[in-house]
Amino acid sequence: MTLLSTRGLSKRFAGLHAVENVDFDLPQGQVRALIGPNGAGKTTFVSLLCGRIAPTQGTVIFDGRDISRLPAHKRINLGMAYTFQITSVFANLTVTENVALAARRRLRGMAMVQATEQALAQVGLEGRLDQNAGDLSYGHQRLLEIAMGLVQHPRLLILDEPTQGLADSEIEGFMALIRSLAGHTTILLVEHNMSVVMQAADQITVLNFGQILAQGSPDEIRADRAVQAAYLGTG
C-alpha cells in the first residue's frame, strides 16, 4: 500500500524551479532515503510534503487523501511527524518537557509520561531527562527532536539530516533505532552521510536540479552512472 505520493509536484520561486514535476511514491513501512547535491531541491520537496510551503502546482496524497492545501498542523494530526536541519527544541524547557509537549497531541496523564520516557530511551537520552534542552550538544538536540517525533507514534516520520552533529557511537544508535522502526513506521530520510543511507534505506530517491534523477535499491543507486556523475563523485 502506498502511504504517500506526489504527482506533478512543483515549486517555483521567482522563476527558479526548486522542485519540478516530481512523481513520487512511498509504500507503507518502507525506509526511503532522499539524497542529492546541495541545491537539488530536497528541503523544498520535504517542505511541500509537510505543508510548510504550498506547491505552485501538483498534488500531495497521504493515505489516499489529497493534502496539497492542508496546513502543516493538520498534516501532523493525520500522522506525519518531521524534524528539520535547524533544530527547533524549546531551549528553556527540560528534555522531558519538550517530548511531553509533543506527546500532548494524543496522550494525557500516565500514558503521556510513559510514552515520553519510552521515546527518550529509544534515542538514548534517558539519562538527561531533567537537563534543559538548550544545554544539550547539537547532536543531542537532534536526538531530542527525533524523540519528539517518535512520541507521536507517526505513520510517517520525516527526518532531515538526523545524523548531523552525532558522534560515531550515536550514529550506531541511530541506525539501531531505524532498524527497530522499519516495517511499522514509514520513514523518509534526508541524509548526506552515504554510509547511513546505504545501510538504512530500503530504497533511495536521488534529486538533482529539482527533478528525480534516479530511484532504486542502494546497490542500484551505487552503480548508477548518472548518480555517480552528479552526486557520488565516482563517475
* DSSP structural state of residue 230: I
Higher pLDDT, 135 or 85: 135
Cα–Cα dist 91/95, whole Å? 9
Mean pLDDT calculated for residue range 210-235: 86
Tell me which of 101, 130, 153 is where a domain ends: 153
pLDDT tier, 139 (very low <50, low <70, confident <90, very high otherwise): confident
Full residue range of the structural domain in which residue 119 is found:
89-153
Mean pLDDT calculated for residue range 15-29: 95
> What pLDDT, on a 0 to 100 scale, did the predictor assign at position 220?
96
Are 3 and 62 a contacting pair, CB within 8 Å? yes
Q: Which of 9-23, 78-92, 142-156, 218-232 has the lowest mean pLDDT?
A: 78-92
Look at residue 45 and tell me whether its pLDDT is greater than 90.
Answer: yes
Tell me which of 153, 178, 204 is where a domain ends: 153
Cα–Cα dist 56/122, whole Å? 38
Are 102 and 152 a contacting pair, CB within 8 Å? yes
The three cell numbers of residue 76 are 501532523
Residue-wise pLDDT tens digits, 193-221 = 999 999 999 999 999 999 999 999 999 99
Kindly state whether residue 84 falls inside one of the protein's structural domains: no
Cα–Cα dist 94/127, whole Å? 12
User: What's the whole-model pTM score?
Assistant: 0.89
Which of 50, 20, 3 is closest to 209 using CA atoms? 20
Tell me which of 111, 129, 153 is where a domain ends: 153
Which of 189, 211, 206, 204 is closest to 8 using CA atoms? 211
